[in-house]
Amino acid sequence: MNILALETSTPVCSVALKRADGQVFSRSASGRGIHSEKTFLFVKEVTEEAGISISDLDVLLTTSGPGSYTGLRIGASAARGMLFDSDDIPTKFYALNTLAALSMNGSEGETIHCVINARRTHLYHAAFSLTSGVPVTIYEPDTRLISEIEGMLKPSKIIAGTGIQRIESQYLKEIKVFGDEEAVTALNLIRLYEAERDSGSFSWCREFDPDEFEPVYHA
């Protein structure tokens, strides 16, 4: 399968393409206003590098939220634009939970806390454990006080996402940390989609008509 993924939920703009032969092509950048500047450019670059066109895609993935209002809107608009008049394009479109995608930074059986910047004293947060590569919920996605999240962190755990620098847990130096561009990548959308597809249980991926898709901005 040819799979294209767009990750635009945070200040990181990431685009990845996995070609049917398994080869992966990706681009990533971060910064203010980066999504409007780079999303379509990155799509053009990875498809040209892979030697395929949009009409060759089997699956298009993007994030459903939570995350940045502007970033998620740009990702949704990009998907609609690429699949406009999709009766002529046999591409399936899926939106994936942003926090669940972050959990793909973890390893089997580990507890991973996934966070994204939210309001001044809050982060979007969830915690998962991977079972056969699929995220199993420990703490449901929600908007939580930073102090509440700090109380959940213990040694030997993992944390991934944006806004980690706002956390002041005594255990932060004792746990594995994946921050910003290291954690937020469109490659994780592909990994999550493939894990759920292979398991036959679509808990965090949902298929949409691109014209009817609206992101969920809050956890």
Helix axes 69-82, 34-50, angle to 10 degrees: 40
Fill in the amino acid letter for 132: S
Q: Do 3-98+184-212 and 100-182 have matching folds? A: yes
pLDDT of 219: 66
Strand order in the sheet with 134-145: 134-145, 122-131, 111-117, 158-161, 176-179
- Percent pLDDT > 90 in the chain is 79
Q: What is the mean pLDDT of the chain?
A: 93
| Residue 88, pLDDT score | 60
User: What are the residue boundaries of the structural domains of the chain, listed by start?
Assistant: 3-98+184-212, 100-182
The CATH class that applies to domain 3-98+184-212 reads: alpha beta
Separation of alpha carbons 95 and 6, rounded Å: 10
Q: Which CATH class is domain 100-182?
A: alpha beta
Res 176: pLDDT: 92
pTM: 0.94
**pLDDT confidence band for 49 (50 / 70 / 90):** very high
pLDDT (mean) for 77-106:
87
Dihedral of alpha carbons 26, 216, 79, 96, sign = positive
Which pLDDT band, with edges at 50, 70 and 90, does 170 fall under? confident
- Give pLDDT, residue 89: 62
